[in-house]
A and B are shown apart, each in its own frame.
Chain A
Amino acid sequence: MQQEVMFAGFGGQGILSAGKILAQTAMNEGLEVAWVPSYGPEMRGGTAYCTVVISDRAIGSPIIKNPLHLVAMNRPSLEKFAPDVKKNGIILVNSSLVAIGSGRDDVDEVRISATDIARDIGDARVANIVALAALVGRSRIVGTEDLINTVKAEFARKEKYIPLNLAAVDAGFAAAS
């Protein structure tokens, strides 16, 4: 079976790294993965998105027009990509920054105030991890313990950030349940 998650938001919101942590977790679970970024001239502040493809067999096309799930961290992302999400998929909306809904009634729309939750934990920059954990908690696309282990490994060289990011993971799981 193949599942795809699209992460989208402003450049600087940690979109690409949230996708990378998910891909790394799935790879650690022995699955096939591909992480496909958007790349363009904008380095900061522009739109950023990436798609993570997770499969139990070799991945054919890594270019996904219709992802199973979407994590929309800002309004333009939701407006742009919500119509593409597959039926019965999850649309996770960062309600801190997005007031509107997806307008879809055939998906599981989950609204999480990721930026506010992250700020309450101590740093708005971990909103991406809150959103990622919420998606994982809701979809079980990878195991929650495996996600925690990846986050620990990801920040192994910047140890002081581990507690903050683990708190973000917990808050994301809690928000999604």
Chain B
Amino acid sequence: MGKVLMKGNEAIGEAAIRAGCLNYFAYPITPQSEIAEYLSRRLPESGGVYLQGESEVAVSYMIFGAAGCGERVFTSSSSPGISLMSEGLSYIAGAELPCVFVNIMRGGPGLGGILPSQADYFQATKGGGHGDYHLMVLAPDSVQEAVDMVMESFRLAEKYRNPVMIIGDGLIGQMMEPVAFRDELKSEPLNKDVWASNGMSTRNSKTPNLVKSLFLSPEQLNAHNLKLKAKYEQMAREDLRFETYNMDADYKALIVSFGTMSRVCRTAIDDLKEEGIDVAMLRPQTVFPFPEKAIYDAALKKECKIVLSIEMNMGQMVEDVERSVKGQRPVEWYGKCGGEIPTPEEIQELVKSRL
């Protein structure tokens, strides 16, 4: 299929349908309401389920119920809405249900603003809700990658029986770029007969299935958490993703950046190269699991004097970058929030001032 020019939000909705996800529950919030608008038209004509819930809280449990039946389901929201869904995310992660959450991030805290932001990095990668759980978190840098990641996210959610979150910023949602859609998702066996609570007759079983997150015995709860932990470790071994830029050069500085911000950095790196300054970039495509070892190795390259974590927030991923570099190189954060996106010129100035 050829390319079409599409707004990120609408392309995300279409990608879910192409991935065979015909169930969507959501509550409107800027800057991602076009996903709901698009699917309110597309899902009914595709024989799917579209429902506008009464709140993000309720939506997160509609997702739980549908995923608990073993049906493919997703939702989308933006930062304040994801806060409200975080309770449900904790329960969903605890009950080990596969489903996909898209966060088209805007600035915070509180109502914050509606312009692009990456200020939900902590929320997405470190929890958000209560308890020891992790989402698998993917961070696209273009509309095309958002589409590819939406499709891939269902496979990953089902592989790990774990919720997957895609964090794009408002720009990824609002921007139009050419996209090509893959025809269908290559998914892995879901084995839902073993766990889905979807009526015994559905699976010709005489034994009830129970979907739950409650383990009152400390031994059982500890064992449950160890099982979850093993899954997160498996994600790091098998599904860690990142991209490098100008890594073959004898770079003086290493930039770590994701999403829209990394595109700005790419332009800055091109411009610096013309001036004879080599800078490399490592762009995490999965921010959980995080490419710790790759960053460590890249930072330790002989000529590399400094590692810069450049983010559209007040310094969140930088903590993971520091953790990765293990004190072997200085690590600094640079960024802005509120909707202003640092320009390539700013990044160039920053790099020059540090070399």
Contact = CB atoms under 8 A, between A and B. Distances in A.
Interface string A122-139: 000000000000000000
A161 B52 CA distance: 35
Interface in A12-29: 20, 23-24, 27
Interface in B322-346: 341, 343-345
A39 B264 contact: no
Contacts of A33: 5, 176-178
A173 interface: no
A23 B174 CA distance: 14
B174 A65 contact: no
A168 to B, nearest CB: 21
A39 B175 contact: no
Contact of A27 (B3, B30, B264, B343): B3
B193 interface: no
B170 A60 contact: no
A35 B174 CA distance: 9
A34 B177 contact: yes
Contact of A35 (B115, B177, B266): B177
B174 A37 contact: yes
A45 interface: no
A63 B341 CA distance: 8
Nearest to B261: A61
Contacts of A20: 5, 176
B114 interface: yes
A32 interface: yes
Contacts of B177: 33-35
Contacts of A27: 3, 5, 178
Nearest to B177: A34
Contact of A39 (B3, B31, B341): B31
Q: Which of A23, A24, A35 has the most CB of B within 10 A?
A: A35
Interface in B40-83: none
Nearest to B31: A39
Interface in A30-73: 32-37, 39-41, 59-63, 65
Interface string B161-194: 0000000001100111110000000000000000
B263 A59 contact: yes
Contacts of A62: 171, 175, 260, 263
B270 interface: yes
A27 to B, nearest CB: 5
Name which of A27, A37, A60 has the most chain B CB atoms within 10 A of its CB: A60
Interface residues of B, number: 24
A140 B305 CA distance: 45
Nearest to A21: B5
A63 B264 contact: yes
Nearest to A51: B175
B97 to A, nearest CB: 33
Given A23-B176, A39-B31, A61 B114 contact: no
Nearest to A60: B267
Nearest to B267: A60
Interface string B237-280: 00000000000000000000000100110111010000000000
B15 to A, nearest CB: 18
Contacts of B175: 34-37, 62
B5 A60 contact: no
Contacts of A40: 114
A61 B178 contact: no
B174 A61 contact: no
A65 B345 contact: yes
Contact of A60 (B174, B344, B345): B344
A117 B30 CA distance: 36
A41 B3 CA distance: 31
A92 B260 CA distance: 30
Interface string B96-129: 0000000000000000001100000000000000
B169 to A, nearest CB: 11
Nearest to A41: B114
A36 B343 CA distance: 15
A116 B270 CA distance: 44
A37 B171 CA distance: 9
A23 B345 CA distance: 25
A34 B3 CA distance: 13
Given A27-B5, A39-B114, A61 B343 contact: yes
7 contacts: A35-B5, A39-B30, A39-B31, A40-B114, A41-B114, A60-B263, A60-B264
Interface of B: 3, 5, 30-31, 114-115, 170-171, 174-178, 260, 263-264, 266-268, 270, 341, 343-345
Q: Which 5 A-B pairs have the closest CB atoms?
A: A60-B267, A35-B176, A61-B264, A61-B267, A60-B266
